[in-house]
């Protein structure tokens, strides 16, 4: 494969992944990854793994939510300038878009760049 084909492969990459399920990690392994959450219990959780380079992005959204259910996604590092580390999803269509940024010389953290209805804390 020539380097000229790389943008085409990215454009056709499978962006949406399956709900990782409660208690599992979310590791972003592709550009523009979409993570739908199917939330059906009162206190589901996930861990968002730190990014490995700058410019990664991920969209996490509540695709389905049972009455009284919620999912807390906790990042391994802060996700905003205030030092928050978690997002709570408890209604359909809540959305968080995060992008990775360099922090220090060799580490990266997520930053929420768009949120709609999600509680960030």
Q: What is the 3-state secondary structure (H, E, C) of the chain?
A: CCHHHHHHHHHCCCCECCCCCCCEEECCCCCCEEEEEEECCCCEEEEECCCCCCCCEEEEEEEEECCCCCEEEEECCCCCCCCCCEEEECCCCCEEEEEEEEECCCEEEEEEEEEEECEEC
The pLDDT assigned to 16 comes to: 87
Note the CATH architecture for domain 3-120: Sandwich (2.60)
What is the full per-residue pLDDT of the chain (121 aa) written as tens digits?
444 454 544 455 568 899 999 999 999 988 889 999 999 999 999 999 999 999 999 999 999 999 999 999 999 999 999 999 999 999 999 999 999 999 988 899 999 999 999 999 9
pLDDT tens, 35-68? 999 999 999 999 999 999 999 999 999 999 999 9
Domain ranges of the chain: 3-120
Degrees, nearest 5: CA angle 97-95-121: 80
């Amino acid at each position: 494969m020539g380097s000229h084909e790389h943008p085409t492969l990215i454009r056709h990459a499978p962006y949406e992944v399956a709900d990782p399920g409660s208690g599992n990690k979310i590791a972003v392994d592709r550009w523009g990854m979409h993570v739908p959450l199917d939330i059906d219990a009162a206190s589901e959780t996930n861990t968002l793994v730190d990014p490995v380079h700058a410019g990664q992005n991920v969209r996490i959204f509540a695709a389905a939510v049972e009455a009284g259910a919620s999912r807390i996604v906790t990042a391994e590092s802060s996700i905003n300038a205030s030092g928050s580390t978690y997002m709570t999803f408890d209604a359909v269509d809540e959305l968080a878009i995060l992008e990775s940024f360099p922090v220090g010389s060799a580490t990266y953290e997520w930053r929420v760049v768009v949120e709609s209805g999600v509680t960030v804390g």
